């Protein structure tokens, strides 16, 4: 059974009737809520001069009731509860002041303190039913599984059981619209019975019958209007109570609420005047926007610090410093309600450190922040979706790549597919965002193809790589950027290798020719990185030529591959490609009928194998 502790701090001497009434009401609630397996324990400070601080601390709700005087013990209990709430958001505080015209100075000063210094809402009640209703609504605000609160014929029901009537609630009995509707209803009720008697006496009186039917329909309509208005009033009160428990009300809200309790709807609307609220909102938004910009600068500085620290390879404490710096950046990112770029950068860093599980947690935090459905709809409605969409697809991409690193194919497929489908939805030909998302879409196809290739689904892998290559070719034609050349080379190389595996050698030859051409251009500017890559591409092209029986072209490409292989530094640490090249070259010479060259390749291949075995023995010995 779930137990809810309710602490009641009350002026025992002056409000003893209220204390007894609330105690009886809580006991009645326990009977009604037993079916929900919920028990409310009322804790009081009755007949005790000691302050039960531990009981206050362990309570979910704290009710405090004053009359005329702000007695020292009650004020101390309020301060304890208020400090606890500010620290832990618990207990939720409801403050009640019995209405009177002769509050003493201590009460006047205390109310001034609540209004001006704490901004804490208090309810000035005339009837105990006000407190009963608030108790019900406060329990509702705790999100207890108690079924629906319903309004029926001026009564509040929970689980179809009557809890209390609404007749003594100020917002109900002071509401002018409700008063007018009830007066009209009573008038119609009287007419209803008059015409009913007439029809009873004279069933042939069609005029009376028609008027009776109209009255009956109108009476039902007004009854429904009364019900809807009462329901709306209670819902409004419920929302107000929920916010008040968070101690997050403005003076404007409090004044408007007091106006509604008096039945002064017009004054309540004036208190919540649109232009005034909008003016304050715009002012705060401008301040918030400026504050966000300043906080983003701080986050960017911290992220730059992590980059600098990663260069400090002689510092053994750099990893601790990097971790501390990322944590601070993420804290500011979250508390400042920024776009959480720190989470992405941190996930990237963790991937480089091969801390994949931790990287996943961080990337998933970014995805949770984005709130993929409601947030997306909000951004889309505001016609400000670009930043959100980019954040979303990059997060899907990040998660997919981490799972690929972890060899978790199921989750890798899930997130790369989401990455791809989201890109596709914004890359429709002719769309405003089509060209912008072309880059992302091409990458998603490349990743998806890699996953398909792992599953030996080579035909579909080729299909997606074809799409990636075409998109990046369009990107290159439009922008001529260095990055587009690099990605076009990468996708084309992946496609050429797939063609080799599929034994589609003519297409492999076509794609490897393109790849070599692209790489020769890049090689001039990035020799160190592309020496080995270009060697591999010449080897692939030579293989395609050989399979297509173009042995002379194959010979030239194998020799080119060998030249680049010899340029690779520390080639003795990995001669796998060199052995493959000599094997392919030997087969090619055999097909050309050049026995001497074939033997040279065979001898070189045997020599490389002996060297490989020797290194393996040394490595095995060193490992011992």
Question: What per-residue confidence (pLDDT) applies to 450?
Answer: 93
Determine, yes or no, domain membership for 396: no
Determine, yes or no, domain membership for 147: yes
- CATH code where residue 542 lies: 1.25.40.10
How many structural domains are present in the chain? Answer: 3
For residue 444, give every residue at least 6 positions away whose Cβ sits within 8 Å of its Cβ, in sequence order, or none.
393, 397, 416, 419, 420, 423
- CATH code where residue 48 lies: 3.40.50
From its phi and psi, is residue 456 left (phi > 0), alpha (psi between -120 and 50) or beta?
left
Number of residues assigned to the chain: 624
Asked if 160 and 183 sit in the same domain, the reply is: no
Asked if 545 and 509 sit in the same domain, the reply is: yes
Asked if 131 and 206 sit in the same domain, the reply is: no
Asked if 56 and 191 sit in the same domain, the reply is: no
Domain boundary pick from 168, 190, 217: 168
Tokens of 388: 């959100």
Asked if 182 and 103 sit in the same domain, the reply is: no
Tens of pLDDT, residues 282-308? 888 888 888 988 998 999 999 999 988
Question: What per-residue confidence (pLDDT) applies to 433?
Answer: 53
Burial of 374 (0-12, 13-18, 19+ CB in 10 A): exposed
Asked whether 47 and 105 are in contact (CB, 8 A), the reply is: no
Residue 62: what are its φ and ψ, rounded to 5°?
A: -130, 110
Asked if 152 and 32 sit in the same domain, the reply is: yes
The CA-to-CA distance between both ends of the chain, in Å, stands at: 63
Domain of 261 in residue numbering reads as: 176-232+252-272
Tens of pLDDT, residues 21-57? 998 998 888 888 887 788 889 988 766 667 788 889 9
- 174 to each of 152, 613, 616, how far by Cα in Å? 19, 98, 94
Asked if 182 and 130 sit in the same domain, the reply is: no
Determine, yes or no, domain membership for 126: yes
Asked if 162 and 183 sit in the same domain, the reply is: no
- Rounded CA gap, 260 and 265, in Å? 6
Strand order in the sheet with 2-10: 38-44, 2-10, 61-66, 92-98, 122-125
Closest CA relative to residue 353, chosen from 300, 412, 306, 301: 306
Closest CA relative to residue 555, chosen from 526, 597, 520: 597
Helix (H) or strand (E) holding 117: none
477: three-class secondary structure by DSSP: helix
Asked if 38 and 133 sit in the same domain, the reply is: yes
Closest CA relative to residue 18, chosen from 83, 89, 57, 66: 66
Determine, yes or no, domain membership for 328: no
Question: What per-residue confidence (pLDDT) applies to 47?
Answer: 63
Closest CA relative to residue 562, chosen from 575, 546, 551, 578: 578
Determine, yes or no, domain membership for 390: no
- Rounded CA gap, 90 and 387, in Å? 37
The residues facing 4 across adjacent strands are 40
Question: What per-residue confidence (pLDDT) applies to 573?
Answer: 40
Closest CA relative to residue 518, chosen from 564, 543, 483: 483
- Rounded CA gap, 166 and 115, in Å? 28
Residue 209: what are its φ and ψ, rounded to 5°?
A: -65, -45
CA atoms in the 13 A half-sphere facing the CB of 607: 9
The three state secondary structure string of 426-458 is CCCCCCCCHHHHHHHHHHHHHHHHHHHHHCCCH
Determine, yes or no, domain membership for 104: yes
Closest CA relative to residue 11, chosen from 85, 95, 115: 95
- Rounded CA gap, 233 and 132, in Å? 16
Predicted TM-score (pTM) of this structure: 0.53
Question: What per-residue confidence (pLDDT) applies to 87?
Answer: 87
The long-range contacts involving 208-217, CB below 8 angstroms and separated by at least 24 positions, are 215/188, 215/191, 216/192
Asked whether 367 and 399 are in contact (CB, 8 A), the reply is: yes
- Rounded CA gap, 550 and 545, in Å? 5
Burial of 376 (0-12, 13-18, 19+ CB in 10 A): middle
Asked if 194 and 155 sit in the same domain, the reply is: no
Q: Which residues of the chain have pLDDT under 50?
A: 372-384, 571-575
Determine, yes or no, domain membership for 301: no
Domain boundary pick from 168, 198, 222: 168
- Rounded CA gap, 42 and 26, in Å? 7
Determine, yes or no, domain membership for 21: yes
Tokens of 17: 């009737």
Closest CA relative to residue 495, chosen from 477, 473, 512: 512
Asked if 15 and 150 sit in the same domain, the reply is: yes
Domain boundary pick from 133, 148, 168: 168
Asked if 113 and 154 sit in the same domain, the reply is: yes
Question: What per-residue confidence (pLDDT) applies to 571?
Answer: 47
Asked whether 6 and 26 are in contact (CB, 8 A), the reply is: yes
């Amino acid at each position: 059974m779930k137990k809810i502790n309710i602490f009641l701090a009350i002026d025992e001497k002056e409000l003893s009737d209220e204390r007894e009434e609330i105690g009886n009401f809580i006991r009645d609630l326990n009977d009604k809520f037993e079916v929900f397996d919920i028990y409310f324990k009322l804790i009081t400070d009755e007949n005790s001069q000691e302050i039960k601080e531990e009981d206050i601390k362990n309570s979910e709700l704290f009710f405090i009731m004053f009359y005329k005087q702000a007695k020292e013990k009650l004020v101390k209990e309020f301060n304890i509860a208020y400090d606890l709430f500010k620290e832990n958001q618990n207990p939720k505080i409801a403050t009640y002041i019995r209405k009177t015209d002769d509050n003493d100075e201590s009460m006047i000063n205390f109310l001034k303190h609540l209004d001006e210094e704490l901004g804490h809402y208090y309810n000035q009640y005339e009837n105990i039913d006000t407190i009963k209703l608030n108790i019900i609504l406060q329990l509702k605000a705790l999100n207890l599984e108690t079924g629906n609160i319903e309004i029926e014929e001026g009564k509040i029901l929970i689980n179809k059981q009557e809890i209390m009537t609404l007749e003594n609630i100020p917002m109900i009995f002071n509401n002018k619209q409700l008063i007018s509707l009830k007066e009209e209803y009573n008038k119609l009720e009287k007419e209803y019975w008059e015409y009913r008697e007439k029809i009873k006496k004279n069933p042939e009186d069609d005029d009376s019958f028609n008027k009776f039917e109209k009255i009956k329909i109108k009476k039902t309509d007004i009854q429904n209007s009364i019900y809807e208005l009462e329901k709306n009033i209670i819902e409004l009160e419920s929302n107000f109570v929920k916010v008040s428990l968070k101690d997050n009300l403005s003076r404007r809200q409090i004044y408007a609420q007091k106006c509604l309790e008096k039945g002064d709807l017009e004054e309540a609307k004036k208190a919540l005047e649109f232009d005034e609220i909008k003016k304050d909102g715009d002012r705060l938004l401008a301040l918030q926007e400026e504050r966000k910009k300043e906080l983003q600068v701080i986050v960017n500085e911290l992220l730059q610090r992590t980059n600098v620290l990663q260069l400090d390879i002689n510092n053994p404490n750099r990893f601790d410093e990097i971790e501390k710096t990322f944590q601070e950046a993420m804290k500011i990112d979250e508390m400042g309600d920024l776009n959480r770029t720190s989470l992405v950068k941190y996930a990237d860093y963790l991937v480089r450190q091969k801390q994949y599980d931790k990287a996943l947690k961080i990337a998933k935090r970014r995805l949770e922040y984005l709130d993929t459905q409601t947030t997306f709809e909000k951004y889309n409605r505001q016609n400000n979706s670009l930043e959100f969409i980019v954040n979303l697809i990059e997060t899907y991409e990040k998660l997919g790549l981490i799972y690929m690193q972890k060899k978790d194919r199921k989750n890798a497929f899930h997130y790369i597919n989401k990455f791809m489908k989201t890109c596709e939805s914004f890359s429709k030909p002719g769309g405003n965002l089509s060209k912008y998302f072309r880059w992302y879409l091409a990458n998603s196809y490349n990743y998806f193809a890699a996953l398909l290739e792992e599953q030996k689904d080579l035909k579909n892998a080729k299909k997606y790589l074809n799409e990636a290559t075409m998109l990046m070719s369009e990107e290159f034609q439009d922008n001529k950027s260095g990055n587009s050349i690099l990605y076009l080379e990468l996708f084309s190389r992946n496609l050429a290798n797939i063609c080799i595996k599929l034994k589609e050698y003519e297409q492999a030859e076509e794609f490897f020719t393109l790849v070599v051409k692209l790489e020769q251009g890049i090689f001039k500017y990035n020799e160190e990185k592309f020496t080995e890559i270009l060697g591999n591409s010449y080897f692939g092209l030579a293989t395609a030529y050989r399979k297509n029986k173009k042995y002379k072209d194959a010979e030239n490409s194998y020799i080119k591959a060998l030249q680049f292989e010899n340029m690779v530094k520390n080639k003795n640490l990995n001669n796998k490609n060199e052995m493959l090249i000599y094997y392919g070259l030997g087969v090619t010479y055999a097909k050309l009928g050049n026995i001497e060259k074939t033997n040279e390749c065979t001898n070189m291949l045997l020599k490389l194998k002996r060297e490989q075995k020797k290194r393996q023995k040394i490595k095995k010995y060193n490992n011992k």
